[in-house]
């Protein structure tokens, strides 16, 4: 067994590998860029080596520096994690040539499966079901249109070296095929240095279901059941679960056996994933093979009771697999939510900055933890006070739950999301909560088009209906009453003039454009020791009991005898007195006032925000990589104005209306903040 391994990655996956290595008694080496100098994976590792500047092409993609770091520290093996160099055949070969073990498949397996065109041919030869398509590299956009017509629309245009949703378009007509080919080719060239593109039939109402395989150097290969990954937004997975609520045992077995046949055909060693697209009739076709550990591997670990990272390390060290196919278990149901630094209410634009608060729910289970089977797990690479940099992907954490069945897993995930506190950057937690509560998701009735179909016009606050909105009103009044009671207990108050707290309040629900709604509420039977109160609203009576204290972001307790977890934030927006209550993805912004203060508040004039319609504003924090206009230039609606880059995504800003450019207010190469003006029109 290795004494020391180097993790050629960052973020949560680096921390994940370090955790297993420590359990196995193996020393770890982290590598880091300028942006990650104070990152969590650097703290957790036994040693850390600086490998370059913040952009990944100058650090985490520098194979020479990673190999040099191995030699410098005496690391005998490299775990590549996922992304970066994990599926780079040249890197795996270089590592092997230098006498270092690559904790992953052999370079020839990566080469065979990394090229999507070659992998399709291999799959066919191994009698694996493949999608109809044109599997040669396509030279021109015109040729692409002709091929798409022959196959029959809709078609999928994909980069041969693609992955992570990059270099992928779906075309429904000639125009989309022409434009999609050009866009895929450009993205592939920029992201992977390989501009080969191919086309295949797009399966309608498809599900994305993948099989986890595991092989050793003795030629044994097994499959560890499937993962359901159909809940995707723009080809990026959002929620994953194991097992799938859709496929039958017969389909599961057939898919698993085909995945094993393909892995054996390329002499696969280590953990890998064979992805299939599954039609509504349970017909399935090979999509691609990911020759690495997947982001969503924890759900497989939950239902099988295995530690996939440990098995990868043991296989890389030459050990045989410790189990046969008959030993693979399927226990309970696991769900993973990817918690990303993005604002779901602003078109999921990236959100970077400092994590002012980061309080994930308490972990109660982990990989191969036989004692605590069902519970909550958090895989993360960040910590409170840390930065979410603009240079890498937007993932903050992975929230994983394991339940006895699917309904229990969904309920556990909703409660865990309620208790996941993130401040300083926006997160997609409200969106995750909405998905989990959607009747079709709860019924298991969805496909890869689920998000596009149900949130076609984006995601809005009203898309998260609350089962009992009056509970949020009651909770706001309760929290305010607790805060007032603390103020009433401050010592040194003048006798006869002490601050006393009444029972009657008005909850002013803050709406846009000064449209506020008012609810009369009473808070009585207050008990300071037990934290109990009776709150009456127009909907009825809520007995709320909690040990919550002022300043805590998370509030836990019972309402009418039922447990709940919610979040409280004071000073939201531009009002330092406003309270924000968050529960089950719904946010309530409110002022809790005495009846007299509410009368006076109603008389206050509404001050509308400044008119910014003449400006093109940055919708997110990021790097301004291009400004396409100059002062005095006439611009038509829909014309390109600027390009902003953040978290491996390029966002193009277009003119909303015809106009003439007055001033260009930001320069190319400048780091922008949210709503920073870039261009002003006259």
675's tokens = 């709503």
Task: Please state, as a whole number, how many other Cβ atoms lie within 10 Å of the Cβ of residue 493.
Answer: 12
CA distance 337 to 568: 22
Query: Exactly one of 89, 176, 241, 288 is catalytic; which is it?
Result: 288
The CA-atom distances, in angstroms, between 285 and each of 202, 277, 282, 596 are 11, 5, 10, 68
Q: Is 296 a catalytic residue?
A: no
Q: Are 365 and 284 spatial neighbours (Cβ–Cβ below 8 Å)?
A: no
List all residues 6 or more positions away from 281 whose beta carbon is below 8 Å from its beta carbon. none
Task: Please state, as a whole number, how many other Cβ atoms lie within 10 Å of the Cβ of residue 630.
Answer: 9
27's tokens = 């020393």
**Residue 380: which of 326, 420, 327, 439 has the closest Cα?**
420
CA distance 140 to 145: 9
Write out 403-470 in H/E/C secondary structure: ECCHHHHHHHHHHHHHCCEEECCCCCHHHHHHHHHCHHHHHCCCCCCHHHHHCCCCCCHHHCCCCCHH
Q: Helix (H, G, I), strand (E, B), or coil: what is residue 328? A: coil
Long-range CB contact pairs, 124-127, < 8 A, 24+: 125/265, 126/258, 126/261, 126/262, 126/264, 126/265, 127/258, 127/261
CA distance 557 to 479: 12
Q: Which residues are catalytic?
A: 288
């Amino acid at each position: 067994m290795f004494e020391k391994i180097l993790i050629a990655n960052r973020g949560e996956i680096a921390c994940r590998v370090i955790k297993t290595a420590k359990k196995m008694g193996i020393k770890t080496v982290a590598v880091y860029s300028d942006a990650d100098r104070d990152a969590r994976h650097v703290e957790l590792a036994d040693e850390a080596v600086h490998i370059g500047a913040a952009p990944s092409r100058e650090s985490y993609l520098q194979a020479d520096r990673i190999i040099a770091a191995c030699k410098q520290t005496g690391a005998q093996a490299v775990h590549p994690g996922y992304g970066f160099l994990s599926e780079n055949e040249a890197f795996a070969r270089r590592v092997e040539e230098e006498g270092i073990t690559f904790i992953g498949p052999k370079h020839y397996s990566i080469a065979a499966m990394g090229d999507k065109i070659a992998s399709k041919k291999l799959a066919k030869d191994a009698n694996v079901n493949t999608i109809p398509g044109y599997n040669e590299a396509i030279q021109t956009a015109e040729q692409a249109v002709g091929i798409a017509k022959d196959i029959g629309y809709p078609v999928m245009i994909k980069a041969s070296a693609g992955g992570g949703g990059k270099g992928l378009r779906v075309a429904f007509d000639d125009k989309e095929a022409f434009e999609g080919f050009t866009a895929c080719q450009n993205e592939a060239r920029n992201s992977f240095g390989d501009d080969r593109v191919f086309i295949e039939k797009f399966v309608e109402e498809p599900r994305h279901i993948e099989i986890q395989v595991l092989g050793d150097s003795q030629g044994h290969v097994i499959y560890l059941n499937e993962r359901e990954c159909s809940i995707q937004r723009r080809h990026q997975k959002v929620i994953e679960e194991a097992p799938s609520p859709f496929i039958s045992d017969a389909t599961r077995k057939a898919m698993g056996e085909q995945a094993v046949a393909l892995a054996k055909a390329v002499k696969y060693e280590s953990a890998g994933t064979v992805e299939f697209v599954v039609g509504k009739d349970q017909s399935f076709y090979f999509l691609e093979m990911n020759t690495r550990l997947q982001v969503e591997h924890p759900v497989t670990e939950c239902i099988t009771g295995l530690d996939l990272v440990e098995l990868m390390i043991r296989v890389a060290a030459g050990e045989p697999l410790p189990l046969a196919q008959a030993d693979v278990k399927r226990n309970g149901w696991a769900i993973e939510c990817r918690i990303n630094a993005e604002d779901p209410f602003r078109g999921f634009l990236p959100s970077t900055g400092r994590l002012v608060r980061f309080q994930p729910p308490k972990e109660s289970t982990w990989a191969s933890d036989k004692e605590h089977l069902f519970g909550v797990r958090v895989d993360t690479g960040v910590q409170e006070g840390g930065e979410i940099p603009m240079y890498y992907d937007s993932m903050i954490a992975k929230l994983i739950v394991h339940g006895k069945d699917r309904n229990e897993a969904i309920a556990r995930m909703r409660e865990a999301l309620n208790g996941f506190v993130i401040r300083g950057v926006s997160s997609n937690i409200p969106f995750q909560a909405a998905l989990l509560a959607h009747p079709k998701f709860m019924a298991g009735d969805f496909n890869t088009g689920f998000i596009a179909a149900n949130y076609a016009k984006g995601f809005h606050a009203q898309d998260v209906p609350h089962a009992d909105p009056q509970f949020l009103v009651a909770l706001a009044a309760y929290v305010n009453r607790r805060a007032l009671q603390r103020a009433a207990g401050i010592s040194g108050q003048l006798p006869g003039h002490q601050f006393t707290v009444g029972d009657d309040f008005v909850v002013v629900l803050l709406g846009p454009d000064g449209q506020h709604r008012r609810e009369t509420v009473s808070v009585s039977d207050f008990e300071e020791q037990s934290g109990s109160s009776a709150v009456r609203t127009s909907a009825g009576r809520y007995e709320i009991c909690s040990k919550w204290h002022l300043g805590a972001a998370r509030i836990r307790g019972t309402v009418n005898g039922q447990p709940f977890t919610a979040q409280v934030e004071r000073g939201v927006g531009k009002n330092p007195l406003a309270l924000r209550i968050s529960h089950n993805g719904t946010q309530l912004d409110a002022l809790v006032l005495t009846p007299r203060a509410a009368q006076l508040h109603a008389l206050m004039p509404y001050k509308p925000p400044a008119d910014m319609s003449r400006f093109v504003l940055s919708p997110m924090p990021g790097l301004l990589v291009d400004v396409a206009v100059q002062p005095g230039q006439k611009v038509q609606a829909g014309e390109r104005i600027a390009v902003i880059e953040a978290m491996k995504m390029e966002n193009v800003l277009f003119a909303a209306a015809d106009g003439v450019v007055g001033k260009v207010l930001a320069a190319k190469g400048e780091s922008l903040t949210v709503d920073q003006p870039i261009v002003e029109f006259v």
